[in-house]
Chains A and B, each alone.
Chain A
């Protein structure tokens, strides 16, 4: 019955979005239909998660010939790497339709198309298909920020679009290089990710292609120093769009690294892992420090999000099972914590017409339920044990220690850096004396509370019972690391390059 679940999850939202564009729906009708579509996707996602066996291989696979002359296929599948990213995309989405006052039809249409494209990018197992969804993903984002964003939306839109497009074009060039290399080595065309991992790449061109891919993903993640589009875009975008950007789209960057770079460019990754890991931790510290100097809550959270992404990306570059699993777990955990915080800030902005931290104060007395929810999400984002944030962060730090003690130490400082700006913000906004504006601050309404309750429970569940989630992703992570180690060593033996893969011998 769920044979075509993935295709439905991709094309139902896209088609619904296009239908909204083409036919005259009223704003609230489009909001409701968007909600229904996202609920359908949510149920498919839950079914899929429950039915997922966690064997390590691709499940729910679909494959149809598409452009046969080039060996491009329409092939989809889910494994432990994509599972939690997919869940983040499928489960959290209905929230953006239930809270906030109604926006225009086009906004909801764009949201739906984004969802479909993101799920497509997550499930695609053909590189060309992935690339296509990857590009489609950007379009609705462009419109959402450009049309519905804040006062300085235009520069932000131009920046995010040009940034990501230039990255994508680099990736396209790398893609062509990979396809051609495969054709040269094996005499036929394919862009299937499993087959491509047999490629043996070496020499300067491979390094170049590696960086082409890496920069594309680094921009999306964003990895230091390619993060400069993020504060502007996150701040100017409408809160629901920011939520989508931070909770799901940024994760697709990390996912791309794991899915495409690790198997194909194993040897190059091993070679530059230290450099990239430094980019990760420096980004974490840099953005974390920048966050404390922000006056705008949303901008602060944008920096905080970038800071966390640095740590998540580090999980990939450490190349051991613990760090990789931590990274995959943290992808979902971060979506539930920081992503949801963006929605909370959207709510506050809607109520107060301001995001300035100095304008708030004493909300904890006016809105105890809201304050409790916010506090739980905040504590998850600083990685308190018992919330979803801890498991991933701990595993990543643990893995980083094995990779390099120094990097592990730097990664550990995120424990301190995160808590500094978060507490500072929490103090200003929720404690202290209430000002004029916050005197009448409304607590969560029933529908809002019901929207957030499942996510808050999910945060706690993922912190207290993480094993059901980890059990599904860990076998793939094991397999991935094992394959990568094997590939790197085999290639080393084949080419006898004077490269030291010090990451695996050093125990």
Chain B
């Protein structure tokens, strides 16, 4: 019963990974990351329920706060990237290539 929630969380997480790895649009990648964060949140809540403790809730709230902060920063970065190259394709940004 409770495992179903965990399985859902895993599925969401894997979808997130797939999104990050395969999609080239910056926004899609960003949304995939959010998806992974929420998968983690779901896992926290589930375990919280399982152990009958509020710790997981606390962490979930914190993850949400971090996600919000991250979104604010990331969107600013995306705008700068767009200004720089006028594109949102991640393949364009490969300065780290060795």
Q: Do chains A and B touch in the complex (CB under 8 A)?
A: no
Which residues of B line the A interface, CB within 8 A?
none
Which residues of A line the B interface, CB within 8 A?
none
